[in-house]
Chains A and B, each alone.
Chain A
Amino acid sequence: MSWRVLSKAWNEFFFAPQSPVPIALFRILYGLAIIANLILLHSDWLNWFGAHAWVTLPTMTKVEPGTRINLFKLMPPADSWVEALFWVFLAFAVLLTIGLLTRVSSVAVFLCLASIQQRSLFITHGGDTFLRVAGFFLMFAPAGAALSIDRLIRVRTGRESGEIQPRSPWAQRMIQIELSLLYFVSFWWKSMGAPWVNGTALYYVSHLEEFRRFPLPGWLQQPIFLKLGTWFTLALEFSLGVLIWIKEFRYPLLALGLLFHLGIEYAMNVPMFQWDVLPAYVLFIDPADLKRAGSWIRKRTAVLSTGVTRMSRASSH
């Protein structure tokens, strides 16, 4: 493969304009995940981030010295300011979801998210990490170029045509790479551990009481199925990290990944992890397929609403 071919492929991959619908759909799902996380955090907001939190800001700064994105360090150390940050964060998360002041909102959401994670590193999990890193790239993405109020305003005021214009997808590609990195590094670390190689890892995982959620059928807990499950996890994480980039494997792998995460959601207490990660799956869907799915949904809802109108007319006569 020559250098020219390589550089052409690179440019094509990162910069050839494509529909911004996938990144816009991701923006909506991402925003919803942030809102859900905030709502779940609200009752303990001051316990984690307040002046007398479980871990105070000075201790956190001592544990993690150096320059960090942390708005808490800039605010007066009073609970009222910490409370205010929650509402500002929530407001920008809502704006990002609906696509109003999208760019500004994405920057504000990233700053707030990075700050609360930096302020309380001991409560963050993989899902939070993914949201933070994806949020960083989302700031640079044309996330408001479709499915947004910003676009609606631009079309109404004649600043943009009704047709959605293709945009450079480099930021979307970075989030896709981040997702595949998540799976590949998980696979890599697991493959270093004896329990994952000898097939006993899921035995331990399935007996960690804090993680148990709904009961699993007895046969699934037989040693042979736990072994197969352990190795399947390794194989799937490797595939989602590497093989997902091969077009022919993509949709079957996304379907398997979706089932895998829903399975974890059923069996284990890792609240929000699945919902933090799954939104990025839409970035791997071909924009043409998303368009087809969109028209199918529109047609269905049109048929449904016509049916409802007819029924209500019939009942009023």
Chain B
Amino acid sequence: MLWSGLFQSWDMFAPAPKSVNAYIQGVVITRDGRIHTWKFPRMEQLSLTQRYFKERYRKFVENLQDEKNSAVWPDVSRHLARLYNDPSNPPEIVMLVRYWSDIVPQPDGSYRPQPERARIFFEYRLKPEDLK
């Protein structure tokens, strides 16, 4: 199935929908100690048209948070570093930070936003060859 291109899975919101609102930001620290924050496009902050163009980022970020996809974290870090690549002040460290808040059903069925929490889930120290 995999080689033929017929692989498939139909598990959107199944067996249970996510119970957290989560997003990711990349933090790039350059040699001079400056901190740059790169925000992955968040659907709720985009215009209707932009959402159509940037929806892939929603899916990507959803997958990126998953521990089982940790193999791609170094690539993502290198890509982020390239966005701030200045030969006179190159990036040295990239961190991937996950922000999340739980969705907690209230007894009366209403919704109360929960406090947001954050965690650095990956830190990458760049090597000189990473930016070539």
Q: Give the interface of A toward B (CB within 8 A).
A: 40-41, 43-44, 47-48, 52-56, 59, 62-64, 66-69, 110, 114, 117-118, 122-126, 129, 132-133, 136, 181-182, 185-186, 189-190, 192-196, 200-201, 203-205, 207-213, 222-223, 226, 269-272
Determine the chain B residues whose CB is within 8 A of the CB of A182 once the complex forms. Answer: 10
Listed A/B pairs (5) with beta-carbon separation below 8 Å: A53-B79, A185-B9, A186-B10, A201-B17, A269-B51
Determine the chain A residues whose CB is within 8 A of the CB of B2 once the complex forms. Answer: 64, 66, 68
Q: Are A48 and B56 touching (Cβ within 8 A)? A: yes
Closest to A201 in B: B17
Among B13, B21, B55, chain A packs the most CB atoms within 10 A around the CB of B13
Q: How far is the CB of B104 from chain A (nearest CB, A)?
A: 10
Contact of A63 among B8, B52, B71, B111 (CB under 8 A): B71
User: With contacts A54-B79, A200-B105 known, is A193 near B15, CB below 8 A?
Assistant: yes
A54-B60, A122-B72, A126-B10 known; 20 other A-B pairs, CB under 8 Å? A40-B55, A47-B79, A52-B78, A54-B76, A63-B69, A66-B2, A67-B3, A68-B3, A69-B5, A122-B63, A133-B6, A133-B8, A185-B11, A200-B105, A203-B103, A207-B111, A209-B21, A209-B42, A210-B58, A223-B108
Q: Are B44 and A209 touching (Cβ within 8 A)? A: yes
A223 to B106, CA, bound (A): 10
Q: Are A195 and B16 touching (Cβ within 8 A)? A: yes
Contact of A123 among B5, B6, B60, B103 (CB under 8 A): B60
Determine the chain B residues whose CB is within 8 A of the CB of A67 once the complex forms. Answer: 3
Determine the chain A residues whose CB is within 8 A of the CB of B78 once the complex forms. Answer: 52
Q: How far is the CB of A90 from chain B (nearest CB, A)?
A: 16
Q: Are B79 and A204 touching (Cβ within 8 A)? A: no
User: With contacts A129-B8, A186-B10, A271-B55 known, is A122 near B69, CB below 8 A?
Assistant: yes
A72 to B43, CA, bound (A): 29
Contact of B6 among A41, A52, A136, A210 (CB under 8 A): A136
B:1-38 near A, CB below 8 Å: 2-6, 8-19, 21, 23
A79 to B13, CA, bound (A): 35
Q: How far is the CB of A182 from chain B (nearest CB, A)?
A: 5
Closest to A47 in B: B79
**Would you call B98 an interface residue if the criterion is a C-beta within 8 Å of the partner chain's C-beta atoms?**
no
Q: Are A40 and B75 touching (Cβ within 8 A)? A: no
User: With contacts A66-B3, A208-B103, A226-B109 known, is A269 near B58, CB below 8 A?
Assistant: yes
Q: Are A41 and B56 touching (Cβ within 8 A)? A: yes
Determine the chain B residues whose CB is within 8 A of the CB of A69 once the complex forms. Answer: 3-5
Closest to B16 in A: A193
Q: How far is the CB of A196 from chain B (nearest CB, A)?
A: 7
A126 to B13, CA, bound (A): 11
Q: Are A136 and B56 touching (Cβ within 8 A)? A: no
Q: How far is the CB of B45 from chain A (nearest CB, A)?
A: 9
A72 to B37, CA, bound (A): 31
Contact of A59 among B9, B18, B59, B71 (CB under 8 A): B71
Determine the chain B residues whose CB is within 8 A of the CB of A181 once the complex forms. Answer: 10
Determine the chain B residues whose CB is within 8 A of the CB of A110 once the complex forms. Answer: 5
Determine the chain B residues whose CB is within 8 A of the CB of A189 once the complex forms. Answer: 10-11, 14-15
Q: Are A114 and B16 touching (Cβ within 8 A)? A: no
Closest to A121 in B: B63
Q: Are A186 and B14 touching (Cβ within 8 A)? A: yes
Residue-wise, chain B 100-117 has the 8 Å CB interface mask toward A (1 for contact) of 000101001101000000
Q: Are A126 and B14 touching (Cβ within 8 A)? A: no
Closest to B62 in A: A210
Q: Are B11 and A55 touching (Cβ within 8 A)? A: no
